Structure 1
């Protein structure tokens, strides 16, 4: 019988991909293709994502289930040995992130089909780069996937999600100064913070700058820099021919170099 990703597996995957409940635009155009849920665009099938679209977390998981069918099909076709459900869930997270083409030629699959499950588990770690650069966010994700594959432990990555934007969100008091500093650099480039205010402290001035940007761009004005806000910031920076420090992330295939609980 063909396997499917479990509910725990979907929560595990989405804890790294992020769940966005309000549609956000392509960072390069500020328009289509619009993205919602767990990286869903109209290219993946229904529903068609349009500006202003809002969904619940439950709907995001339903859409993810449909989007996962194609990846699950690839796994069921390519994996030739018996694996546990936890191992399937770990592989589903990997193939969703790196794509079927990369997975098909990966040492993870080659070693697994040779019966070397320990070698396959160790090979997860090789998929830790974006644009040729090792990303600590991908290092953490691969380590969690390897742990799930080897032990069946889904870990603390699964959060108690409710109907709000979740994923990598920076907000007042964020304990990750490296990410906040990059966000502040983008806000300075947009003229919303004074030059020199990139101190890594998400305080009242930074929150006010985020709110000002959200108000100007018809976003939810909550002072929280989540994927939708940063996507709009990326589009604004690109239009102004300004460098982008962090605003573009995390979008599909562009992991943010921050812990997922930022």
Structure 2
């Protein structure tokens, strides 16, 4: 199939006419309507010469389309493809989505794939160029334009679906959303939340995500519960150290009473035992008071831990009632 006047005019409009040779950013000399084959420094052409060169340039493209496209094409589709290949080159055409979709029988997908070829490297950066966007739109429009006007569907009989708008949410999707979408609250910068509200909603979200796991008291602990558990651990460690010290004092006294020879060999003389006995009530009172404090501290932390677990269970219950 030969390229029609519509296709040639499309190429002319976007390539532009250069009567004198121009050194393009692609590091090639260009003359006429994007002709590079025989262009050289100082070369000049007339408008008639430029048109003949253009027709010569599209002949291998026409042969390329015949060799690579297995789907039948009408004149407009063929001309649009000629303009596209003239711009992107043979190598890009052979690996393009346009060609793959065409040979798969998906002409609408091929038309949409025209828009992929709208970027170029500018200063070593890949950017979308306005000129390429407009050219791809014109080529896509020509590709989709039927050669028989009787095939055009009246626009009054076809109405685009609301889903074409990217921000549109259908009723089906809206009804499938949870009662409370905590992600929306997190991303909503206009809604100010207090620290207590953020903590409560975080706990409820955590409980909701773990609801299928069963008992909420057996879930992974929160930050507050982790701090409470750390307090319990520290208190138990200190109470244990105090108990160990009290046991050591008792062992020393027992050693002096039952094995005085061994105690004296270890440096525990009678005078030292006398000092220990004189200060023993103070030491026992101090150790006992310290142990009582840390045991009470542990009990308070455990009570706080259980309060957090009960609060989380109540949040989960309220969420289930809301559902």
TM-score by length of 2: 0.42
Task: Decide whether aligned partners of structure 1 residues 93 and 152 sit closer, same or farther in structure 2, where only a CA change above 3 A counts.
Answer: farther
Task: Decide whether aligned partners of structure 1 residues 114 and 34 sit closer, same or farther in structure 2, where only a CA change above 3 A counts.
Answer: closer
CA-CA distance at 1:54 after TM superposition: 2.5
Partner of 2:232: none
Task: Decide whether aligned partners of structure 1 residues 27 and 107 sit closer, same or farther in structure 2, where only a CA change above 3 A counts.
Answer: closer
CA-to-aligned-CA distance 1:61-95 (integer Å, 9 cap, x gap): 10011111221111111110111011000000111
Matches within 5 A, 1:1-262: 3-25=1-23, 34-41=29-36, 44=37, 48-131=38-121, 132-152=126-146
TM-score by length of 1: 0.51
Q: Secondary structure at the match of 2:19?
A: strand
Kindly tell me the number of residue pairs found equivalent between the two proteins: 143
Q: Secondary structure at the match of 2:31?
A: strand
CA-CA distance at 1:104 after TM superposition: 1.0
CA-CA distance at 1:49 after TM superposition: 3.5
Task: Decide whether aligned partners of structure 1 residues 81 and 138 sit closer, same or farther in structure 2, where only a CA change above 3 A counts.
Answer: same
CA distance in structure 2 between the partners assigned to 1:105 and 1:139 by the alignment? 20
CA distance in structure 1 between the partners assigned to 2:94 and 2:46 by the alignment? 33
Q: Which has the higher helix share?
A: 2
Task: Decide whether aligned partners of structure 1 residues 118 and 101 sit closer, same or farther in structure 2, where only a CA change above 3 A counts.
Answer: same
- The unaligned stretches of length 5 or more in structure 2 are 148-323
Q: Secondary structure at the match of 1:55?
A: coil
CA-CA distance at 1:50 after TM superposition: 4.2
Question: Per chain length, whose mean CA-contact separation is higher, i.e. which structure has more relative contact order (CA < 8 Å, sep 6+)?
Answer: 1
Partner of 2:187: none
Partner of 1:243: none
* Structure with greater Cα Rg: 2
Question: Structure 1: which 4+ aligned runs deviate by more than 4 Å?
Answer: 26-29
